Amino acid sequence: MNANPEGWGRRALSGLALVLVIALGARWAYELLAPLVPFAASLLVVGAVGVLLFKRRR
């Protein structure tokens, strides 16, 4: 009696499809978020400078 009705070839194909979908999703997320990196970095620098300035005033 086989506990897994699918053959190993079908499971390998399913795993390959899953890896492909994850890779495509990661690429899509990178392309979507990459333009935001310079904006986020500049906000971080401006925020750090602001914290330093307000800390010295007190």
Pull the structure tokens for residue 13. 């194909």
pLDDT tier, 3 (very low <50, low <70, confident <90, very high otherwise): low
Taking the alpha carbons at both ends of the chain, their separation in whole angstroms is 77
3-class DSSP state for residue 22? Answer: helix
What is the tens place of the pLDDT at every residue in 5-40?
678 888 999 999 999 999 999 999 999 999 999 999
Q: Are 4 and 11 in contact (CB under 8 A)?
A: yes
